Structure 1
Amino acid sequence: MTVYTRVGAVTGANKGIGLAIVRQLALQYPNSAYNDGPLLLYLTARNEERGKAALEALQADPQLERARALRSQGGLTDIKYRTLDIDSTESIREFADYLKKEHPQGIDFLINNAGIAMQGFDADVAKKTIHCNYYGTLEATKQLLPHIKDGGRLVNVASMSGNLSSQYSESIRSRFLNAKKPEEISELMEEFITAVAEGRWKKDWPSSAYGVSKAGVIGMTKTIAQQNAQSGSKTLINSCCPGYVKTDMTKGGGAKTPDEGALTPVLLALADIQGSTGDFWQNERKMKW
């Protein structure tokens, strides 16, 4: 039986950026500061068939074969599939219970990549997008953070579309920036959903449910990181933008490949980031929100 010295998990990993993150973790781990023995990666997705197909694709991946990255190829990394739907509190709880049972000492890192991008903009789109992208990531963060070792990493994948642009009113922008608790960010998300439903969002909000959901992820991550640090924990919690990546979500219109988009999330999981926590990263560096 293999004894793993490092354990990590990636959500929404059956395709696109999530799949590339798993591949890049396996490729970069041997040369990272984190390497001190075998690594177990959990590739998670809500659809078992797609998740297992992604796992098979990685096992035959030319990049991984050339690098001999996987343990079956003489490398350091094993990848296993687990079902996880961040839009379901029960699914998150089941994954948390599994981690507690299998890894009572905790895992080393979690990259929350799962999310949706819906077409159009109306009350239904706003509600569903916020529920998955914001509340799903918040719930995964809250339930899975206790299963990350002290000094480990938690990375929430957001987007530059969550930037607090001029389309936000000054009062809304100020509330985002000054929030101290995730509950304050959740209040903003609820206000956005209500404003869209009542047709009065234009005064305070952009007409992008995806963008607002990612602003929520950035703000929520910042507040949880601050609370976590105040409690004395050394776990580093950050959010990041992978960039405009060619995936199904962008309908192939991106400027980066999925592997290029994976670089910042992987850096936040494996590299020496000088104690950065509560920050928003893009292009492998800290960015102003």
Structure 2
Amino acid sequence: MTYQRVGVVTGANKGIGLAIVRQLALQYPKSPYNNGPLLIYLTARDKGRGEQAVKDIEGDAQLKKAKALSSDGGLSDVRYHQLDISETKSIQDFAAYLKKEHPDGIDFAINNAGIALQGFDVEVVKNTLGCNYYGTLEATQEFLPLIKDGGRLVNVTSTAGKLSKYSSELQERFRSAKEVNDVTKLMEDFTAAVEAGNEKEQGWTSAAYAASKAGATIMSRAIAEKHRASGSKTLINACCPGYVNTDMTRGAGTKIPDQGAQTPVMLAISDIQGQNGLFWKSEKPEEF
């Protein structure tokens, strides 16, 4: 089959990521972005879990009823590909695969993959930042050159990282960060503060997940601004899915995954009036 649209969803074997894939398939036919068959890459670290997720999608009763997948006469196909965003080589290998398989480019990427570890010490911080900040940054940098001009890149972050949790000095550093290096320096300073045991005295929160998502959100804005200044029409936004009942929230969330998927799916395939470099929650932009 020839695909008119190609999209990528990271961390998609369960939870919000899997729901994003489902909702893309369900909503694409009525999307203004629809101009023919859509191929969705469902990526995950573990091959067995990723392939099982594709089988779950193919057997999904709601998708069958809607005839969303091509096997039932619909527009979407879902294909698994291995991707671990905490490993540079894995990101680069997948990007190389996409470039070879889709030389004309892909249409969107939703960077959903992330971790939320229990506890708080410097190792938790390094592992959390390694995935949620540095991994998302590398995936963003590798995917962007592959996205057609006018396509979309969506980074799933969180209101847990809202800047109001930090000292006024740190808030100003985040808000004035214009380059990725400025944001990376903040993440390095946070790690150093935790290592020294004085992160609270320096105005940080003692929460690795929150800091990683603050970094990912502001990094997304910095990259969006740079791309806009270069004349690119690709829309780059960050969003919070809300407090979703998944493994990451240990079953404490108030939304189901399909509800959490709505904002990232909207940013990928709906008409968002060219809005770029913003933070979104509940399908609308809000102050971060």
For this structure pair, what is the TM-score category when the shorter chain's length is used for normalisation?
Answer: over 0.9
- Aligned AA for 1:248? D
Q: Which runs of 5+ in 1 are unaligned?
A: none
1:191 maps onto 2:193 in alignment: no
The residue number in structure 2 matching 1:115 is 114
Measured in 1, the distance between the counterparts of 2:200 and 2:235 equals 36
- One-letter amino acid of the counterpart of residue 261, structure 1: G
Q: Stretches of 4+ moved more than 2 A in 1?
A: none
Distance 2:68 2:5 in 1: 15
For these two proteins, the number of residue pairs brought into alignment is 287
SS of residue in 1 equivalent to 2:258: helix
Q: What is the identity percentage for the equivalent residue pairs of Structure 1 and Structure 2?
A: 61
Partner of 2:57: 58
Amino acid in the other structure paired with 1:194:
A
The correspondence of residues 95-134 of structure 1 with structure 2, limited to 5 A, is 95-134=94-133
- One-letter amino acid of the structure 1 residue matched with residue 168 of structure 2: E
Partners of 1:134 and 1:276 in 2: CA distance: 23
For 1:263 and 1:228, how far apart are their aligned partners in 2? 25
Residue in structure 1 matched with residue 251 of structure 2 by the alignment: 252
The whole-number CA distance in structure 1 between the counterparts of 2:98 and 2:232 is: 20
1:168 aligns with 2:152: no
Deviations along 1:83-135, one digit per CA (max 9) or x if unpaired, are 01000100000011001100011000000000000001111111110111000
What amino acid is the match of 2:103? P
Q: Output one character per residue of 1:114-172: Cα deviation in whole Å (capped at 9) or x when no partner.
A: 0000001111111110111000000000011100000000000000101112x311111
The whole-number CA distance in structure 2 between the counterparts of 1:162 and 1:276 is 21
Amino acid at match of 1:14: N
C-alpha deviation, 1:63, in angstroms: 1.1
CA–CA distance in structure 1, aligned partners of residues 178 and 278 of structure 2: 14
Q: Distance in 1 between matches of 2:131 and 2:38?
A: 29
Q: Which runs of 5+ in 2 are unaligned?
A: none
Letter in 2 for 1:12: G
Counterpart secondary structure, 2:153: strand
TM-score, normalized by length of structure 2? 0.99
The DSSP-based 3-state class of the residue aligned with 1:110 is strand
- Measured after TM superposition, the shift of residue 224 of structure 1 is 0.2
SS of 1:133's equivalent in the other structure is: helix
The CA distance in 2 between the partners of 1:205 and 1:63, in whole Å, is 44
Query: Residues 23-82 of structure 1, C-alpha deviation per residue, up to 9 Å, x if partnerless?
Result: 000000000000111000000001101000100000000110110100001100000000
Name the CA distance, whole Å, in 2 between partners of 1:122 and 1:222.
28
- Give the alignment's TM-score, normalised by structure 1: 0.99
Partner-residue secondary structure (3-state), 1:85? coil
Cα distance in 1 for residues equivalent to 2:119 and 2:266: 33
- Determine the C-alpha separation between the residues in 1 that align with 2:86 and 2:145: 19
Deviation at 1:259, TM superposition (A): 0.1
Q: Cα deviations across residues 192-238 of structure 1 (Å, max 9, x unaligned)?
A: 00100110100210111000000001000000000011111000000
Q: Mapping of 1:132-151 within 5 angstroms?
A: 132-151=131-150
Q: Within 1, Cα distance between the matches of 2:168 and 2:143? A: 34
Distance in 2 between the 1:123 and 1:107 partners? 37
Aligned to 1:178: 176
Distance 1:44 1:126 in 2: 24
